[in-house]
Structure 1
Amino acid sequence: MWRRYLMWFAHEHVDFRHAEIQSIISLFNIPMKFIERPCVQKPYWIVDLPSEECVKKIASRSVLLKNCIELWSRAKTEAQLHSNLKNALQNKTGQWLEVNSDVENSTCPRELIEGCCPADKTFKVEVETFCKHFSMKEKVAKIESFSYLPLEGPVKLNNPDIKLCYLEFYGSDPNNVPEQPHDLFFGRLIADGQRDLIQAYSLKKRQFIGNTSMDAQLAIIMANQAKVRNGDIVLDPFVGSGSLLVAAAHFGGYVWGSDIDFMMLHGRTRPTRVGQKVRTNDESIRSNMRQYGTEHRYLDVAVSDFSLPMWRPDLTFDAIVTDPPYGVREPTEKIGIDRDNYTLSEAHLVNHIPSKVEYGIPEMYGDLLNFAAKHLRLGGRMVCWYPMVRDEYSESQLPRHPCLSLVANSEQVLSKLTSRRLLTYEKISDDVTSPGETHQGVNFREKYFAMGEQSRRERRERKAEELAANAPWRPQTRHLHVNKLD
């Protein structure tokens, strides 16, 4: 029998919430019904799911989900919430009942409450609020208001058998908090999300990082949207310091990587951490994998120019997760030379170090989509970041390929003027005769620095105007020049 659940999210990376959960339920083939349309201003969803096992599977992957509770009561006021719970104790139908045909005032089946009442089960009640703080005394008073529930077991604060949750939502504007909550919820905790992974994989604790190492939370979200599962072969063709490989390996993927930057892959670049003068000998992508106990899932990394693919034509990957350079903190380069008709003698070939030219963003993403269309298995996913100027954004500008379907598109705001979008493609066809398309005609790096210079100039002008407007009035003074007489 389907049950009703409250999915309570961390209120960050809100635009990624739907894409992550949809990827997870697609991965596990879990059907889910929305009781109301999700709203980005609210940190929760009300859904129906087939079983607790489905809830636990979702929670075992999601890093944006804080927890999920089996919903016993939802109301607009405390009095109505308690009334719903008391009505539930009289509900003998085994089904959800709606009070006055209102899903916000509904009564759960009595069996849900009675299952938590045996004397041999310990329990605790937790109070959580969103956008408002309560003292411990106030929280205890709210907990004691549920004393009518027939809970016969002893209270246990640490690791109880049953954890009951009372949640109050006061809106999402911390500068305009109402006296009374907008929504109240009560139910039994089923599972916690994977928020602990954010600290476990924090870059602050990681052995080897670079200037562009991906934040641990975003890396895990990318692995979820790529639907990485145990035994998958995963590639990052712009691997850098390997943060995305770490996240993919956590979910059981066997990871490959490549990059044109020889110094980065060999851990010889300038240290990133403040105060560190030189890199240690054990700084490498492999050492990161060893640090997290996933070295057995590390296949290798290779120095490679992505514009000149080195892979066998028949090689396929289950997923591609990558963050190509944008030309801001890392250069966009490929092997080449600007001179025409240039030749290299065999005598110089042995010690030759190839020169590099700019690898434009449209060309890079065109190559990336063509590569994915050719080397992804059917149904496999590619997840990548794409930089954008916010005022100029249009979905028609995003890279396209006839073999790839864009299934998710989420924005991370970088500044007032720029952002990057996390794009998730799924391979739907093996017909690779048509090339990919990109429409970003102007170099993003040029736009980025031009807008930065414009913003700095505007700030200087605005500051000068403010100083002039706030300067105290001073009368003009005349300087008298007196000739010194002998």
Structure 2
Amino acid sequence: MHLRKMWPRYLLWFAQEHVDFRHAEMQSLLSMFNIPIRYVEKPCEVKPYWVVEVPSEECVRKLASRSVLLKNCIELWSRAKTEAQLHQNLKRAMQNSTHQWITSEGSENGVCDQDICPSGLIDACRPVDKSFKVEVETFCKHFSMKEKVEKIEKFDYLSLDGPVKLKNPATVLSYIEFYGLDPNNVPEQPEDLFFGRWVADGQRDLIQQHSLKKRTFIGNTSMDPALALLAANQAQVRDGDIVLDPFVGSGSLLVAAAHFGAYVYGTDIDYLMLHARTRPTRVGQKVRKKEESIRANMQQYGVGARFLDVLVSDSSRPLWRPGWHVDAVITDPPYGIREPTERVGIEKEDYTLLAEHLARHVPAKVEYALPQLYRDLLGAAARRLPPGRRLVAWYPLLRAEYNPDRLPSHPCLELVANSEQVLSRLTARRLLTYEKIREPDGDVAADGGVHNFREKYFNSGEETRRARKERRAAELAAYLTQTHNQTADVT
């Protein structure tokens, strides 16, 4: 064996949802906090854990303070492929007098069944005044409480002198058994085992706290809380930032950004939505309540002081003065399916508005084609963002037509993350994260992409719930009419 100088080693354990967003979120947070990282082994896209080395415990606490996909972080004491080997590693670690990990030579990816942690990690948890408990977690297999207790008792050789305390102990030790990813073919023995000291939990609780079921004001397309928080992390929202959503809707993305300390505001062309006067979307609700509003949502979550305002505005006709900047743009533009894609305009040629009609004139609207919408969005972000800051936007497409080279682009913006959320068998949307790399030079044009989602959606056989309901009602009416006519003919 040889000694290898290492940073502290940690197990990052993730929730097994939105898997395609995991790497993008972690890279955004690592970049935002300027945390270097070493991967003990290359992260597997589908397995729920990473084994990493970072300079200090403070680093993993920072990651946990923001990540919504991270369940918890564990200071790794032992990892093995069998239970017997895991216990053998821990017993040898108690005798390891060095302050470094000991790793067998020739081990693949720098990790094997005989990685031995420094004894100081274990000794730090032994004082008689330090209470502790041991938790057992399994992935893809269930154990009874009796079986878990039997597993815990096998760690009695650690000789921890403090009292056992099940609620709020000073030290939590975690034992994890991983049984693969196929619940229909669970092996008899675990594929991987881990043991160590719990360090921090991720921000999974925020998903329930921000649940749309409890939110004061929601709309037809209100963003799922987990995805809204992910977008805020992708945008690297910091305390004191100013964040804009140019297609604000019911303000779900503003809620997430404000939670992380941003001052937020938004614009939208839909006057009724901004004033909470659209048709209610909750089952059984007939009319909007008087207190429903984006401001009420912000106050509900204790971030009312972070809410600047929302304005009725056409995104294709920017209202901001030159030289005005924001720290991040986070948005979910309408796709033309459940919400229309509209801009101010008129299809008549040589139309002139008389002066006497101007005071009461309500501008007409025309279709806002998605390629043009994204050209305007990227162009505005290139002008409004400082270098190094980010635009995060959702982009819809048909899954079969996805081509990364045909996504919206701008010479001043670099696409740094691209994650997919599958919506159906045919459709998906991708969370695109752009970072500004330079200031616009002259009349620089954006490319809005070539995926004409709305037209192709309706031609693809994909059917909305309302359209399906209307079709079935029409079929039933036709059937009843036909039956009535047949009965009348017989009579």
When normalised by structure 1's length, the TM-score is 0.92
Q: Is the 8 A contact 1:226 1:321 kept in 2?
A: yes
1:328 Cα deviation from its structure 2 partner: 0.7
Counterpart selection for 1:417 from 412, 426, 447? 426
Q: 2:411 is matched with which residue?
A: 402
1:23 pairs with 2:28: yes
Q: Deviations over 1:66-93 (max 9, x none)?
A: 0000000000000000010011011111
Distance 1:243 1:25 in 2: 25
Structure 1 CA distance, aligned partners of 2:401 and 2:276? 38
Unaligned runs of 5+ in 2: 1-5, 469-491
Q: Does 1:44 align with 2:49?
A: yes
- Aligned residue number for residue 476 of structure 1: none
* TM-fit CA distance, 1:413: 0.4
Query: Which secondary structure state, in structure 1, belongs to the residue aligned with residue 394 of structure 2?
Result: strand
Q: Displacement of 1:100 after TM fit?
A: 5.4
- The answer for the alignment partner of 1:379 in structure 2 is 388
Cα distance in 2, alignment partners of residues 319 and 51 from structure 1: 29
- Pairing 1:354–2:359 present: no
For the 8 Å contact 1:232–1:318, the answer to whether it is kept is yes
Shift in Å at residue 377 of structure 1?
1.0
Q: How big is each residue's C-alpha offset from its partner over 1:207-256, in whole Å with a ceiling of 9 and x where there is no partner?
A: 00001000001000000010001000000000000000000000000001
What is the alpha-carbon distance in structure 2 between the residues aligned to residue 231 and residue 403 of structure 1?
25
- SS of 2:327's equivalent in the other structure is strand
1:202 is aligned, of 181, 196, 211, to 211
446-455 vs 103-112, which deviates more? 446-455
Give me the whole-angstrom Cα distance separating, in 2, the residues matched to 1:306 and 1:50. 44
1:112 aligns with 2:111: no
Whether 1:251 and 2:280 are equivalent positions in the alignment is: no
> Secondary structure of the equivalent of 1:71?
strand
1:161 to 170, 173, 186: 170
Q: Using the alignment, how far apart are the partners of 1:92 and 1:454 within structure 2?
A: 66
* Residue 396 (structure 1) shift: 0.7
Tell me what 2:138 maps to. Answer: 129
Instruction: Give the aligned partner of residue 278 of structure 1.
Output: 287
Letter of the 2:250 counterpart: S
Q: Separation in 1 of the partners of 2:138 and 2:244? A: 41
Q: Is the 8 A contact 1:256 1:299 kept in 2?
A: yes
- Residues 219 and 243, structure 1, Cα contact 8 Å, conserved in 2: yes
| 2:397 maps to which of 381, 388, 397 | 388
Distance in structure 2 (CA, Å) of the matches to 1:56 and 1:27: 14
Q: Runs ≥4 in structure 1, deviation > 6 angstroms?
A: none
Deviation readout 1:308-356 (Å, 9 max, x if unpaired) = 0001111101000000011011000001111111111111111111111
Q: SS of the residue aligned with 2:350?
A: coil
1:365-386 CA-partner distances (Å, limit 9, x unpaired): 0000000000011111010000
Quick check: 2:329–2:391 contact (8 Å CA) kept in 1?
yes
Q: Check the 8 A contact 1:389/1:417 in 2, yes or no.
A: yes
Q: 1:246 to 1:432 in 2, by over 3 A?
A: farther
TM-score, structure 2 as length reference: 0.91
Q: 1:154 to 1:454 in 2, by over 3 A?
A: closer
Q: Are 1:309 and 2:314 matched, yes or no?
A: no
CA distance in 2, matches of 1:174, 1:289: 41
User: 2: distance between equivalents of 1:336 and 1:382?
Assistant: 27
Alpha-carbon distance in structure 2 between the residues aligned to 1:405 and 1:22: 15
Q: How far 1:104 sits from its partner (Å)?
A: 2.7
* CA apart distance, 1:173: 1.1
Picking from 279, 287, 304, the partner of 1:295 is 304
Output the CA distance in 1 between the equivalents of 2:205 and 2:88.
36
Pick aligned residue for 2:343 from 309, 334, 355 = 334
Correspondent of 2:450 among 437, 440, 459: 440
Partner of 1:58: 63
Using the TM superposition, give the Cα deviation of residue 432 of structure 1 relative to its aligned residue in structure 2, in angstroms.
4.3
Output the aligned Cα RMSD. 1.4
Match of 1:2 in 2: 7
Deviation at 1:99, TM superposition (A): 3.7
Residue 154 of structure 2 aligns to which amino acid in structure 1? S
In structure 1, what residue type is equivalent to 2:65?
S
8 Å CA contact 2:235, 2:328 repeated in 1: yes
For residues 275-305 of structure 1, give each alpha carbon's deviation from its aligned partner in whole angstroms, at most 9, with x where no partner exists: 1111111100000111111111111100000
C-alpha separation in 1, matches of 2:95 and 2:219: 61
CA distance in 1, matches of 2:383, 2:464: 42
Equivalent position of 2:238 in the other structure? 229
What amino acid is the match of 1:395?
P
Report deviation, 1:453: 5.1
Report Cα offsets for 1:436-484 as digits up to 9, x if no partner: 112315x31121122235899xx9xxxxxxxxxxxxxxxxxxxxxxxxx
* 2:73–2:200 contact (8 Å) kept in structure 1: yes
State the distance in 1 between where 2:462 and 2:95 align: 68
Pair 1:80-2:94 in alignment: no
CA contact (8 A) 2:426 2:462 kept: no
Encode CA deviations 1:24-79: one digit per residue, 9 max, x unaligned.
11111111111111112210000001111111111000000000000000000000
Label 1:142 to 1:414 Cα distance change in 2 as closer, same or farther (>3 A). same
Deviation at 1:262, TM superposition (A): 0.1
- Is the partner of 2:366 in helix, strand or coil? strand
Amino acid at match of 2:328: A
SS at match of 2:408: coil
Percent of paired sites with the same residue = 68
CA distance in 1, matches of 2:320, 2:237: 21
Q: Which amino acid aligns with 1:282?
A: E
Distance 1:246 1:453, change over 3 A: closer
